[in-house]
């Protein structure tokens, strides 16, 4: 079975509301073996809503809509589904009674326009909304099935678990599951990961895909099987191969954060960390660690001349574009290690002409230079991620 999600609401297209419903629904459907090939967002326009549903029905077994089930003029999902499935809207007295009872429970006065919510496409299966006033429905047609859910996340989630997941489970015979595992890497670029596992990315089950983030690359392994155990076995076999090829760069799985893994490693080895960095406060490097784990020495752009002076250069006469930022970060790391007494030091300096990153222990060091930077962009956070990954790899080697 494959499904398409159609989120409805002009506020989504204007960026006034972020669509979290689609992400939530796709995760739940994945767990019962339902594929999602398309996500569609459409505004509050009857013709476009109906057309989006028609298109979705032409390429999916199940279409799930969210939003547009309220009582106002711009809530057009009911009519849109009716038009797309060639049906009329019919008034359901039992649904109207549910709406009246819901308002009574809330101690609120029901407006006359709430009556429109009791209209659903002819022949639909009504779905109880225990959290809100908008009845939902399922329309079964020869082309496929349309399931209309509210846009309010709390209501949507309750209905999804109480009614829709069991309904879809029955449709699939209670079999089928899709599971995923994410292997998180740092210190290696997406293209380098791809070069090492490109052949795995052509597999059909399990599938292997990449997702690049700031200074990190995720490897996602997704398996389809009749049971969770079978899916886990497929994922495990793929993971063995991936770890053989890029294992030295894999710091964690699924939601594990690089800084959390690094701090855990430091605590296990009873090591103290010191960092020196520059960049805006809102991308604070030291803020990614707990106060007990780090000695911070933030370097502002105003202090850049002082750093240059530590290299023995006349700061007032130095062209920043001619600065060796790798050497600058190395010198800062050495100074900080001596001044702080830390076991592990991270230093990076990023400015418009370039970036220098150094990770250092008492026995080893690693330095990288880049010909781009910018303290006012995401470069500081990106450089921080690379710096943590470099330090993490050095600390792993400490006995």
Average pLDDT, the chain: 86
C-alpha span between 213 and 235 (Å, rounded): 22
In this structure, CATH architecture of domain 2-171: 3-Layer(aba) Sandwich (3.40)
Asked whether the predicted pLDDT for residue 283 surpasses 70, the reply is no
Domain boundaries 177-253, corresponding CATH code: 3.30.70.2860
Note the pLDDT tens digit of each residue in 28-73.
Answer: 998 888 889 999 999 999 999 999 999 999 999 999 999 999 888 8
Residue the block writes with tokens 């597999």:
203
pLDDT (average), residues 283-300: 61
Strand 136-140 to 125-127 pairing: antiparallel
pLDDT (average), residues 154-180: 87
Strand 250-253 to 62-66 pairing: unpaired
Q: Which residue has the higher pLDDT, 350 or 7?
A: 7
**Shared fold status for 2-171 and 177-253:** no
How is 75-115 classified by DSSP, letter by letter?
A: --HHHHHHHHTT--EEE-HHHHHHHHHHHHHHT-PPPGGGG
Q: What is the dihedral of CA 307, 294, 384, 20, to 10 degrees?
A: -150
How is 170-239 classified by DSSP, letter by letter?
A: HHTTT--EEEEEEEEEESS-HHHHHHHHGGGGG-SSSEEEEEEETTEEEEEEEEEESSHHHHHHHHHHHH
The pTM of this model reads: 0.68
pLDDT (average), residues 274-294: 65
C-alpha span between 324 and 355 (Å, rounded): 9
pLDDT (average), residues 234-260: 93
Q: Cis peptide before 146, with omega less than 30 degrees from 0?
A: no
Most confident of 232-236, 256-260, 290-294: 232-236
pLDDT at position 224 is 86
Domain boundaries, the chain: 2-171, 177-253, 258-396
Asked whether the predicted pLDDT for residue 298 surpasses 90, the reply is no
Q: Is 255 helix (H, G, I), strand (E, B) or coil?
A: coil
Asked whether the predicted pLDDT for residue 243 surpasses 90, the reply is yes
Token pair of 189 as six digits? 């670029």
pLDDT band at 160 (very low <50, low <70, confident <90, very high): very high
Domain boundaries 258-396, corresponding CATH code: 3.90.950.20
Note the pLDDT tens digit of each residue in 73-113.
Answer: 888 999 999 999 999 999 999 998 888 888 887 777 778 88
Note the pLDDT tens digit of each residue in 188-242.
Answer: 888 999 999 999 999 988 999 998 877 789 999 999 888 889 999 999 999 999 9
pLDDT at position 56 is 97
Beta carbons within 8 Å of 76's beta carbon, 6+ residues apart:
8, 44, 45, 46, 49, 68
Q: Which residue has the higher pLDDT, 230 or 280?
A: 230
């Amino acid at each position: 079975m494959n499904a398409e999600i159609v989120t409805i609401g002009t506020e989504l297209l204007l960026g006034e509301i972020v669509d979290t419903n689609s992400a939530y629904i796709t995760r739940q459907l994945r767990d019962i073996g339902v594929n999602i090939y398309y996500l569609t967002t459409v505004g509050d326009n009857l013709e476009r809503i109906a057309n989006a549903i028609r298109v979705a029905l032409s390429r999916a077994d199940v279409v799930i809509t969210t939003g547009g089930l309220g009582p106002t003029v711009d809530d057009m999902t009911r009519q849109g589904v009716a038009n797309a499935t060639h049906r009329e809207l019919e008034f359901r007295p039992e649904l109207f009674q549910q709406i009246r009872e819901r308002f009574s429970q809330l101690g609120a006065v029901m407006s006359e326009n709430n009556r429109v919510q009791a209209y659903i496409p002819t022949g639909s299966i009504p779905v109880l909304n225990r959290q809100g006033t908008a009845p939902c429905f399922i329309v079964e047609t020869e082309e496929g099935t349309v399931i209309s859910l509210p846009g309010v996340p709390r209501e949507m989630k309750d209905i999804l678990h109480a009614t829709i997941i069991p309904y879809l489970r029955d449709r699939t015979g209670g079999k089928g599951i899709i599971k995923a595992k994410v292997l998180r890497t740092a210190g290696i670029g997406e293209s380098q990961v791809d070069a090492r596992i490109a052949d795995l990315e052509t597999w059909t089950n399990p599938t292997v895909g990449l997702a690049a983030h700031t200074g990190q690359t995720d490897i996602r392994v997704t398996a389809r099987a009749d049971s969770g155990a079978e899916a886990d076995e497929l994922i495990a076999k793929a993971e063995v191969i991936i770890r053989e090829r890029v294992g030295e760069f894999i710091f964690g799985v699924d939601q594990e954060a690089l800084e959390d893994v690094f701090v855990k490693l430091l605590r296990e080895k009873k090591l103290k960390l010191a960092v020196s960095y520059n960049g805006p406060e809102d991308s604070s490097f030291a803020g990614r660690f707990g106060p007990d784990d780090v000695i911070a020495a933030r370097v502002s752009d105003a202090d850049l001349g002082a750093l240059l002076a530590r290299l023995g250069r006349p700061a007032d006469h130095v062209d920043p574009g001619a600065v060796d930022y790798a050497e600058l970060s190395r010198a800062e790391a050495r100074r900080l290690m001596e001044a702080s007494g830390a076991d592990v030091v991270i230093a990076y300096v990023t400015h418009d002409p370039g970036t220098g990153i150094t990770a250092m222990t008492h026995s080893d060091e690693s330095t990288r230079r880049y010909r781009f930077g910018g303290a006012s962009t995401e470069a500081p956070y990106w450089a921080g991620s690379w710096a943590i990954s470099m330090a993490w790899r050095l600390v792993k080697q400490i006995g």
